[in-house]
Structure 1
């Protein structure tokens, strides 16, 4: 009975190693995408919000590598190797738990940019980063930092601030309605949403690691 249980847990551990590698790859892909999203509108994105996603990306790559290593080289009848695998998996689980907490805490700390930086940011919005701002304003349906009034004193409000869904056919290219909300509020809400998704990704990964941890600890009883 003990030998049959050992064989059963051995195959479960192999399946767990494969699943571990796949989950690590998935975590890496999603974490990388979240980092890209946080950098997409870096002009208005608060500082130090990428740390949790970057750490989760690194842990995903490491987890993927560990899953491949276990599948290829782990001797499932060696108590020492099984214990090392369990300790490594426990360490990854604790780190990813910390990453999830970090993302959740940062989510609560995200706040608007200091007003002292607005002039500097807006100066770039109409010069060096003009194309980036045009993309941001048209995609997020916002205008300026706090609203269209930010463009007061400039030559013209960019077309990316125009709400084209309300344009009539006889306006001859004249914008009749501008986006009223500023981009800062939209980017802040977007950043909070991304951090919340980082937390959920870390939570899902931790739950999977905890499930995988049960197998080596149980299997260790049957190794002579």
Structure 2
């Protein structure tokens, strides 16, 4: 049962991280992917354990027990990994966002830190104005906006990614505790 719950929870968390995959980078998704794989492995180990109890071979029961211990260790390691990524996510987001930001519109935010990111160019992208890509291929920037989003996108995604990684870490911790 814990594997089924872990499968559902990790799949849901992976989906939530996948939504902003362009900004978060793949290293943020790895702990959730590992949890999803551990759910599948746990189902397999549970099936092996169920089959071995019927055969009453002691070596199979010992191997199943060792596999369960290994699963718990990997799940707890996933907790630690997610917390390490959680602590360093702000650097990853700023680098990934800077590379992808020119292609994105409609986030109701402007630049990495705010509209001041575009002071050197003298104009801001249409996405900062809330206008959308008005002929974005030929004129990707607007010289004058009636209203510019003042908040930067990095802090919004930073908070979101930390929240999702905390959920992944807690799910991994709960799964390892439950299986112990």
Task: Give TM class, smaller chain.
Answer: 0.7 to 0.9
Distance 1:117 1:202, change over 3 A: closer
- Kindly indicate whether residue 161 of structure 2 is the aligned counterpart of residue 191 of structure 1: yes
Distance 1:76 1:29, change over 3 A: same
Name the structure 2 match of 1:180: 150
User: What is the CA-CA distance between 1:105 and the residue it aligns to?
Assistant: 1.3
- Kindly indicate whether residue 18 of structure 2 is the aligned counterpart of residue 51 of structure 1: no
* Contact 1:148 1:180 (C-alpha < 8 Å) held by counterparts: yes
User: What is the CA-CA distance between 1:44 and the residue it aligns to?
Assistant: 2.3
Q: Which runs of 5+ in 2 are unaligned?
A: 133-144
1:108-148 deviation per Cα after TM superposition (whole angstroms, max 9, x unaligned): 122235877766433222xxxxxxx42xx25xxx3443224
1:130-141 aligned within 5 A: 133-134=105-106, 137=107
Larger radius of gyration: 1
Deviation larger for 149-158 or 36-45? 149-158
Name the structure 2 match of 1:30: 9
Distance 1:145 1:204, change over 3 A: same
TM-score, normalised to structure 1's length?
0.61
Instruction: Give SS of 2:24's match.
Output: coil
User: What is the CA-CA distance between 1:178 and the residue it aligns to?
Assistant: 5.6
Name the structure 2 match of 1:98: 77
User: What is the CA-CA distance between 1:100 and the residue it aligns to?
Assistant: 0.8
Q: Which runs of 5+ in 1 are unaligned?
A: 1-21, 126-132, 161-174, 211-224
TM-score, normalised to structure 2's length?
0.74
Name the structure 2 match of 1:121: 100
- Kindly indicate whether residue 10 of structure 2 is the aligned counterpart of residue 60 of structure 1: no
Q: 1:199, 1:23 → 2: CA distance?
A: 16
User: What is the CA-CA distance between 1:103 and the residue it aligns to?
Assistant: 0.9
User: What is the CA-CA distance between 1:195 and the residue it aligns to?
Assistant: 1.2
* Contact 2:23 2:93 (C-alpha < 8 Å) held by counterparts: no
Distance 1:146 1:88, change over 3 A: same
Q: How many correspondences in the alignment?
A: 163
Indicate the RMSD between aligned Cα atoms, in angstroms.
2.9
Instruction: Give SS of 1:146's match.
Output: coil
